[in-house]
Chains A and B, each alone.
Chain A
């Protein structure tokens, strides 16, 4: 699967290429995402179900925040330019969280005859606590820039 940025460095390494702050995640957001994503796990929308499972409240789908990171990637490159995209979900994202996504330049990688830009991705809440950490490889060809 994903290979971390192994080769080469660039003067731009560490530079923030893009960032995106989304509105606070409401229960309405979770209901919409439940329907739109076909992830109908009740843990994200049904408070009674959550409490029956020892959780005080519903919490956001991890894939909603990964979707926010995906939106950020698409501000840097088109969907056709993204070669790989991976995250680790570090902490639960509660209702009300305001997620900020950032993409940092992490060097250049040669893969299958292409020069790709490696990105380090981060999604944090309003207190700066890490929710998702990840990486992506994209073929930047000047689009959207």
Chain B
């Protein structure tokens, strides 16, 4: 039976942080995911298709969120072993296209903690708000993590 997660942490907000969207890392992401559309690697192609620079693919904001110093700080806070977690659900709502050169601000909050099967499976829901350097909405993410 896993440790009971501390529900008093529901609503806990983490310190906002900024991430610069880098063209080189976008290229590596395209390579790692085997996406051969040159719009995701070649700035000239991206500009010819009307983007200000290389655009980020749809799940990329999730990987930007992982770029901070300790992307698993919420696991430490809740005393969760990373070997016991599974990604249950993931959703994105988008308001703007992200491109190389952007500087984005990420704000995380523990949105929910609950259990099923009398505590045998626990669920942690994290929500992330992503804004641009002007404070305008870029995306919202919601991830549900299963703790076995």
Enumerate chain A interface residues (CB-CB to B < 8 A). 1-2, 22-23, 29, 32-33, 35-43, 49-50, 52-53, 55, 61-64, 66-68, 70-71, 73-75, 78-80, 82-89, 92
Contacts and interface: CB of A to CB of B under 8 A. Distances in A.
B55 A89 contact: no
Nearest to B87: A62
Contacts of A63: 59, 62-63, 87, 90
Interface of B is mostly: mixed
Most chain A beta-carbon neighbours within 10 Å: one of B88, B92, B93: B92
A53 B81 contact: yes
B15 interface: no
B76 interface: no
Interface stretch (B6-14, B23-31, B115-123): B23-31
B66 to A, nearest CB: 4
A36 B30 CA distance: 9
Nearest to B83: A53
Contacts, number: 126
A122 to B, nearest CB: 15
Nearest to B27: A36
Given A38-B67, A49-B83, A84 B34 contact: no
Given A37-B66, A49-B83, A52-B83, A86 B91 contact: yes
Nearest to B93: A84
B17 interface: no
A32 B35 CA distance: 13
Interface residues of B, number: 41
Interface in B93-110: 93-94, 96-98
Most chain A beta-carbon neighbours within 10 Å: one of B66, B83, B142: B83
A53 B148 CA distance: 11
Contact of A1 (B29, B57, B62, B91): B91
Contacts of B64: 38
B33 to A, nearest CB: 4
B144 to A, nearest CB: 9
A36 B55 contact: no
16 contacts: A37-B32, A39-B66, A49-B83, A62-B86, A64-B33, A66-B59, A67-B35, A67-B59, A74-B57, A78-B49, A78-B55, A79-B58, A83-B94, A84-B94, A85-B91, A86-B89
Contacts of A75: 37
Contacts of A66: 59, 90
Given A37-B29, A74-B58, A84 B91 contact: yes
